[in-house]
């Protein structure tokens, strides 16, 4: 594990925040020299986090919350995408006692996994894999 740390520094001269790997000597925006202990606004543990931290630091207070929320939504699908295997497990668990998978049960799985796919799209994919057969309108059965 690396202990890499980035810092967001606010320039006293131009008021802009910039990201740095090491304590910077000058502002990359206006060229103003920084004091020995510059005004560090925040720290980040990755380049991506730094980018967001700088953007947030340069956003007026009243827009910050909205920006943070929007960025949170953008990065979420990448970090939380469920694996196909865990999705299939969830679908198998969602079948009722007679082995039927109802449209509403598939929808519940999609919601629980935080996926934006439609039930039809997901089941078309699973059908394409030959794992289920359609047993009626909005009903499927696993092929064991
Ligand atoms: Zn500056």
- pLDDT at 144 exceeding the cut of 80: no
Cα–Cα distance between 117 and 49 in angstroms, integer? 27
pLDDT of residue 80: 57
Cα–Cα distance between 54 and 42 in angstroms, integer? 9
CA of 103 to the centre of ligand 1 (A): 57
CA of 130 to the centre of ligand 1 (A): 60
Overall fold of domain 84-142: Arc Repressor Mutant, subunit A (1.10.10)
Cα–Cα distance between 13 and 42 in angstroms, integer? 18
CA of 38 to the centre of ligand 1 (A): 11
Residue-wise pLDDT for 75-121, tens only, equals 444 455 678 888 889 999 999 988 899 999 999 999 988 888 899 99
pLDDT of residue 18: 94
pLDDT of residue 73: 62
Residue-wise pLDDT for 7-30, tens only, equals 999 999 999 999 998 888 999 899
Where do the domains of the chain lie?
Answer: 6-80, 84-142
CA of 63 to the centre of ligand 1 (A): 22
CA of 26 to the centre of ligand 1 (A): 8
């Amino acid at each position: 594990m690396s202990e890499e740390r980035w810092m967001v520094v606010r320039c006293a001269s131009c008021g802009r925040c910039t990201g740095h790997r090491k304590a910077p000597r000058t502002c990359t925006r206006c060229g103003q020299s920084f004091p020995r202990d510059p005004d560090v606004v925040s720290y980040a543990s990755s380049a991506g986090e730094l980018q967001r931290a700088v953007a947030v630091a340069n956003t007026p207070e009243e827009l910050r919350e909205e920006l943070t929320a929007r960025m949170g939504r953008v990065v979420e699908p990448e970090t939380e995408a469920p694996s196909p295997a865990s999705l299939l497990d969830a679908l198998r668990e969602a079948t009722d006692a007679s082995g039927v998978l109802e449209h509403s049960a598939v929808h519940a799985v999609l919601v629980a996994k935080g996926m934006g796919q439609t039930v039809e799209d997901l089941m078309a994919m699973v059908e394409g894999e030959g794992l289920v057969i359609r047993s009626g309108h909005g009903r499927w059965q696993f092929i064991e």
